[in-house]
């Protein structure tokens, strides 16, 4: 039994890191996508259109797949459906609206730091939301160490100011936490694929309407743009589906500790795909701190705890 539980932990941990790697890879890929589609990074409307078409297409593909496989993947109940819609509101609509508008108002080097603030708050107070989330000093220590790793990545940004853009980025971070709490509490009996499809389709359509109202233009596809867009959609579908699957069995606070690895993967893929320089002392320090935070955060206080 202990061997089986250990194997489950290893699988869950490995899948969690895979999700972080996929999400991390999307940062440079989206930048490449902007270039491939000729999107002005200062145009909020066009950036939102890029996100809208990404999530709408993902949602349509996943929902169509689930519909044809509905005998093995029953459609969510009415109650679960509305909860999934709320997940789409927080994880797609509000999260990306706050992120993209906030990025136009604040220093981009602060974004990775600020977007982890919600996770840190949740880790410290997770026991207030779920009975199985026990207060654990190791989680808090791991979260603080991991957060210090994020700070080290942005160490060269200099003095920290506080603006409306910062508030919006913090809002995006809180939206991520809220969407995951809703998912963990309300859709345990729904297929992760249905959750991914419905939330992304609903969120994508709302962003699409907002983008059109702001004057956003539809994407003009080229061979390069199509290939990049295909990877972004595939990575989005895979990452979100795996994440919702893992949420069914794992403590959300420990998953959020692992989520500190996301900006680290973003740096690595930025170096590989964009040629960004990551051979810096702060990146090495960040790797050590984030890795240490993840390991410490998964330490047990007693035999009753598990991943």
Q: What is the pLDDT of residues 128-163, one digit of tens each?
A: 777 767 777 877 887 788 778 777 766 655 554 556
Low-confidence ranges of the chain (pLDDT < 70): 1-6, 103-114, 132, 153-163, 187, 278, 283, 294, 298, 300-307
DSSP state at residue 75 = P
SS3 69: coil
pLDDT at position 268: 84
Which letter, b or e, does each residue of 268-287 get, where b requires 16 or more Cβ atoms within 10 Å of its Cβ? bbbeeeeeeebeeebbebbb
Q: Under 8 Å CB-to-CB from 169, ≥6 apart: which residues? A: 98, 99, 102, 103, 106, 110, 111, 114, 115
The runs of H, that is alpha helices, within the chain are 2-36, 44-68, 78-88, 95-103, 111-114, 117-125, 137-153, 164-186, 192-213, 223-247, 252-258, 262-274, 281-297
Q: What is the pTM of this model?
A: 0.80
pLDDT at position 103: 65
Cβ atoms of 201 and 56 closer than 8 Å: yes
pLDDT at position 152: 73
Q: What is the pLDDT of residues 182-227, one digit of tens each?
A: 887 776 778 889 999 999 999 999 999 999 999 988 888 889 999 9
pLDDT at position 245: 86
Cβ atoms of 54 and 236 closer than 8 Å: yes
pLDDT at position 168: 85
pLDDT at position 291: 75
pLDDT at position 154: 62
Sign of torsion over alpha carbons 188, 179, 109, 286: negative
């Amino acid at each position: 039994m202990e061997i089986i539980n250990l194997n489950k932990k290893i699988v869950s941990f490995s899948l969690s890191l895979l999700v972080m790697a996929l999400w991390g890879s999307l940062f440079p890929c989206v930048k490449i996508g902007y270039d491939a589609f000729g999107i002005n990074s200062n145009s909020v409307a066009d950036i939102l259109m890029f996100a809208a078409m990404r999530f709408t297409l993902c949602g349509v593909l996943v929902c169509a797949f689930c519909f044809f496989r509905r005998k093995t993947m029953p459609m969510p109940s009415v109650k679960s459906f509305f909860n999934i819609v709320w997940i789409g509101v927080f994880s797609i609509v509000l999260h990306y609206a706050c992120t993209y508008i906030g990025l136009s108002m604040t220093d981009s080097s602060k974004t990775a730091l600020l977007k982890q603030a919600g996770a840190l708050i949740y880790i410290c107070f997770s026991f207030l939301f779920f009975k199985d989330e026990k207060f654990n000093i190791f989680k808090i220590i791991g979260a603080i160490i991991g957060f210090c790793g994020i700070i080290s990545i942005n160490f060269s940004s200099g003095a920290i100011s506080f603006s409306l853009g910062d508030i919006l980025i913090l809002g995006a971070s809180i939206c991520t936490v809220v969407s995951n709490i809703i998912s963990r509490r309300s859709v345990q009996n729904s297929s992760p694929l249905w959750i991914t499809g419905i939330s992304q389709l609903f969120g994508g359509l709302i962003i699409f309407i907002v983008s059109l109202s702001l004057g956003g233009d539809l994407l003009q596809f080229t061979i390069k743009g199509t290939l990049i867009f295909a990877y972004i959609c595939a990575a989005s579908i895979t990452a979100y589906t795996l994440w919702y699957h893992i949420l069914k069995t794992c403590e959300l606070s420990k998953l959020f500790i692992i989520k500190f690895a996301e900006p680290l993967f973003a740096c690595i893929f930025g170096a590989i795909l964009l040629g960004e320089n990551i051979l810096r002392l702060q990146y090495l320090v960040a790797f050590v701190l984030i890795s240490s935070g993840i390991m410490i955060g998964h330490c047990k206080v007693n035999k009753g705890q598990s991943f």
